[in-house]
Each structure stands twice: as C-alpha cells, then as structure tokens.
Amino acid sequence: MSNDFRPLQGIRVVEMTHMIMGPSCGQVLAYLGAEVIKVEPPAGDKTRHLTGMGRGFFPSFNRGKRSITLDLKAEAGTIALDRLLATADVFVENFRDQSLDKMGFAPSELRNKHPKLIITSCKGFLRGPYQDRTAMDEVVQMMTGMAYMTGPTGRPLRIGSSANDIMGGVFGALAVLGALMERQQSGQGRALRIGLFENCLMLVMQHMVQFDLDGREPAPMPEREFSWPVYDIFDTLDQRQIFVGAVTEGHWQILCNAIGLEHLLEDSRLQTKMSQIEARHWTIPIFAEAIKKRDFTELAEILEASGIPFSPINRPADMYRDPHVLRPGGLQHSMLSGGQVFRAPGLPIEVDGDSPRPASLDVADVGHDTENVLSELGLSPSEVQAASGAVNRRTA
C-alpha cells in the first residue's frame, strides 16, 4: 500500500532547528521514511511554547520525529552530538554561522570529521553581502517586493502564511534527496545551504522577469493589469462571496451562457479576448449583477458543471468542514504528549492513489527519546544525564 511509501527508510536525520524553515525540512524527510531525531536544548525548543499565531508552529512541523535534549553549552553535550552525527546521514540545522563555529560544528569541520554526512543549513541568506543578517519570513517578504506586490500601493502586506519558511524547508529536503542520490555513487556527503531570501526571490521571479522584459514595474496584485476578462470576487444573493474566473475564450462563452448573459456574446465590442479585457470597467458590473441574483450553492453547481474556475472565500478554519479536505487521507491525526489530538494535512502528493505517511505522526514530548538514543551511542546513565542537561535541570 502507498501508506508504506518510505524511500528514506534507514536514513538517519539529526535535526537541530527551531521555528518553521528547518523543522519543515525535517518534516518532509520524516514523511519519506527517514528517522528524524530532533535535538532540543534542555528546556525544549522555545517554539513549543508559542501562543497566538505561533500556536500551530511546533505541532505542525514536528510530527513523527524523535526528541532528545542536549546541553550544548556543556562539553558532555557537544561530545554526545558529535557521536550522534557519526551515526547520521543528514544533519539539518538553522543556527547562525557564528554560533555553529563556536560549538565546533561548522560545516567545514563536520565534513572533515564525517565525510559522508550531508549537512543541510537552513539560513536567511545564501553566501554574499547579507549572509550574516538575521532574517525571518516577513523580513524577506519586505526585502524582495513580495509584501509590496501583496498589499495595495503604500500598504505592503505579508502574505497570510509562512510560505517562505515552508517552501525553503521543502527546497532543503529536495537538496538532501539529490545529495543522497549522489552519495550512492561518490560515497561523499555535501554541505548544503538553503536561503530564505533566495526562496522568496523565486516567488517574486515572475514579477522581476516581467519588468526585465517589458521595462515596466508591475502594479501590486490588488491593482494589477488583468490578463483575463473575468477574474474577480462577487457577492451572491445569500450574501456570500465567490471568486469566478474566465481566462479563455471558451470560458467567456460558457460563463455568459451559464448565468444568462448571452447578449454579451453578440456584442460587437466583445469579440476578442483583448476587447473583453479592455471592457472590464463596464462588463464586470454586469457580471456582478447577474451573479447577485443567485444563491451561492446554486451558482457553485452551475459553475462546477460548466468547468468554470470558482471558489468560495474561505477561512483556514473552514477547511475542517470542506468535503475534499475531509476525504479519506485528506487530514491526518496526530497526538500531543498530553493526549490532545489534532488534525493536519499531509504532503500534497499521492503515491499509487494513496497519501504517504510516516510510521508515526505524533509529537514527542521534550526529550522523550534522549535515554534510548544516547544509550545506543554507548553513553552511560551518568553521561546521558550530563549530556542532556538533566543534572543542571535538577540543581537549577
């Protein structure tokens, strides 16, 4: 069965990250069957304790991982990490370069010690003038023009998701897969670096290239020049909102017939796609009036049967009521250490018609696997306590 799709089974990943970018990289690798050991400080990853908008960060991106604690301020902790890395295939980290250097875990040093290790560094920037800057998703959205393109003029607005962090993590996992394939032939690891800023450049690339080719800066998305006759949000009779798009000549004809606007098909001013786009200032109010005569459900049935792109204007919470999301495999159940269960999407792929998933999707408690993992490395009980910070926690 496809639920057993675990091509990375037998691959050990040591993940020393926080927030979203690094954890999402480890999350993808865990979904593909890797054993992911999350290394946390003695008090646990601070992301565990976020509230409000950050409440979902840790549980979303740390499902199916083992958790150990190491006190990397103590020699016993750094020795234990080094012994752990000697057993690993992949090391995922998102520390500042200087912090890794001070601990003796700079990529260059790790490659000398562990030549087969694939070091995956999730950073704010790739090498260059900004490489030592602190970056966050919102920072790079402001820097690259993403926020400018999202909000109206004068009101830059971050997009409503940590999309750069997540996509950066996916690029990290993609790079790991490539390095693992190469290692099968070369026997050597690689030092990989993934840039959050450069990831956001990929997301605004279409706007950059438009400017480079045409010499004109594109307007922010709320004020964009439309390339389609209908691509708008409308109100329905029952006071709901619906997005409707007609992006081809066929769509235009189908939509006009579907909602009783056949007369527009005979209008001499609307016989080409470009003329339809140029007439938006007077045709869109006509579409709005026709759409407002129908309830949302009726209109949705008409548009779906006609093959017209449409969507309700949903909120994230609405996804827990969406029939497609609720299809078998659409949501996967995970459990927090306290027993609370939550539902979250899996990877957006199917394998042989089914959704892959790791052996476990639960979220481990802080240090849940410390004793087992470190004991397997040959550490004695007292050495486990010293390396994990348990001694310091008891005497603090």
Q: What is the set of active-site residues? A: 165
Instruction: Report pLDDT digits (tens) over 143-195.
Output: 999 999 999 999 999 999 999 999 999 999 999 999 999 999 999 999 999 99
What pLDDT is stored for residue 290 in this prediction?
97
The strand pairing partners of 119, in sequence order, are 91, 191
Backbone φ and ψ for 295, nearest 5 degrees, come out as -70, 155
Assigned token pair, 323: 């029939």
Instruction: Report pLDDT digits (tens) over 109-150.
Output: 999 999 999 999 999 999 999 999 999 999 999 999 999 999
**Amino acid sitting at position 159:** I
pLDDT over 90 percentage in the chain: 90
What pLDDT is stored for residue 3 in this prediction?
67
Closest C-alpha among 211, 200, 197, 198 to residue 146: 200
Q: Is the pLDDT of residue 4 over 90?
A: no
151, with CB counted inside 10 A (0-12, 13-18, 19+), is middle
Q: Is the pLDDT of residue 393 over 60?
A: no
What pLDDT is stored for residue 396 in this prediction?
42
Give the side-chain half-sphere CA count within 13 A for 101: 3
Q: What is the dihedral of CA 46, 50, 53, 54, to 10 degrees?
A: 30
Assigned token pair, 13: 């990943």
Instruction: Report pLDDT digits (tens) over 224-242.
Output: 888 899 999 999 999 999 9
Average pLDDT (375-395) is 83
What pLDDT is stored for residue 188 in this prediction?
97
What pLDDT is stored for residue 43 in this prediction?
94
The strand pairing partners of 343, in sequence order, are 333
Other Cβ atoms closer than 10 A to 39: 25
